[in-house]
């Protein structure tokens, strides 16, 4: 039962998210890392990578530091929507584990634009999040809508979450931004989606 639980499946999503070939000593950004479960897993597999973690909650950063600390991992408490990379750092990859679902559509687009500026040419943006019920059908669509309604209600009450529905992840960014979406979305669990974009 535990094996199939919601939380176990979320962790399965984080593990799938990292399934990618990255150059040796690549520079990686994680946005909205929370309590460190994604980076703890990924750093174990690839200790050569340099990680920058941007997370707006000091409490979450403290939890993440308890889970994983390394000279290869820098934690930065900041709101990514106001983040300016003064060093002009170019990242090989940006990962967003369950981050975009926290954002209203307008801020999702703002975040995509900022990511497109800080990725290297050929760099990768990868996200794992909840599947949009509008992309599902039948009973799956109904169940996903119910789960998301409950989750958004819960997080609005407990964490003053700004969003009340998923942003449209599938919008075409190629015209306005320099990111192009790779068509093959992945589904690590029926209610999760992993999408990948590359910087032109």
Ligand X SMILES: C[S@@+](CC[C@H](N)C(=O)[O-])C[C@H]1O[C@@H](n2cnc3c(N)ncnc32)[C@H](O)[C@@H]1O
Cα–Cα distances (Å) from 27 to 20, 89, 92, 160, in that order, read 14, 9, 5, 32
Nearest to 126 by CA among 38, 37, 24, 8: 38
**Smallest separation (angstroms) from ligand X to the CB of 139:** 25
Q: Does 57 bind ligand X (CB under 6 A)?
A: yes
The verdict on 79 binding ligand X (CB under 6 A) reads yes
Q: Which of 41, 194, 178 is nearest to 127 (CA)?
A: 194
Q: Is 126 in the site for ligand X (CB under 6 A)?
A: no
Nearer to ligand X, 165 or 180 (CB): 165
Total binding residues toward ligand X, as defined by CB under 6 A: 19
38 binds ligand X (CB under 6 A): yes
Report the phi/psi class of residue 70: left, alpha or beta, with left for phi > 0 and alpha for psi in -120 to 50: beta
Residue 36 or 123: the one with the smaller Cβ distance to ligand X is 36
- Contacting residues toward ligand X, per CB under 6 A: 14, 31-34, 37-38, 54-57, 60, 79-81, 97-99, 102
């Amino acid at each position: 039962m535990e094996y199939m639980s919601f939380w176990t499946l979320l962790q399965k999503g984080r593990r799938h998210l990292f399934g990618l070939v990255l150059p040796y000593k690549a520079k990686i950004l994680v946005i909205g890392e929370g309590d460190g479960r994604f980076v703890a897993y990924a750093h174990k597999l690839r200790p050569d990578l340099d990680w920058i973690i941007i997370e707006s909650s000091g409490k979450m950063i403290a939890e993440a530091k308890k889970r994983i600390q390394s000279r290869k991992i820098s934690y930065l408490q900041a709101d990514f929507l106001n983040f300016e990379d003064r060093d002009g750092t170019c990242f090989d990859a940006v990962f967003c584990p369950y981050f975009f679902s926290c954002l209203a559509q307008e801020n999702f687009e703002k975040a995509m634009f900022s990511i497109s500026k800080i990725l290297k040419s050929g760099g990768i943006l990868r996200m794992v999040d909840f599947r949009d019920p509008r992309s599902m059908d039948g009973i799956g669509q109904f169940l996903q809508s119910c789960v998301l309604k409950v989750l958004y209600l819960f997080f609005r009450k407990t964490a003053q979450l700004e969003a009340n529905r998923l942003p449209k992840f599938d919008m075409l960014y190629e015209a306005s931004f320099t990111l192009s979406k790779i068509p093959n979305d992945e589904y690590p669990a029926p209610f999760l989606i992993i999408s990948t974009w590359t910087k032109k």
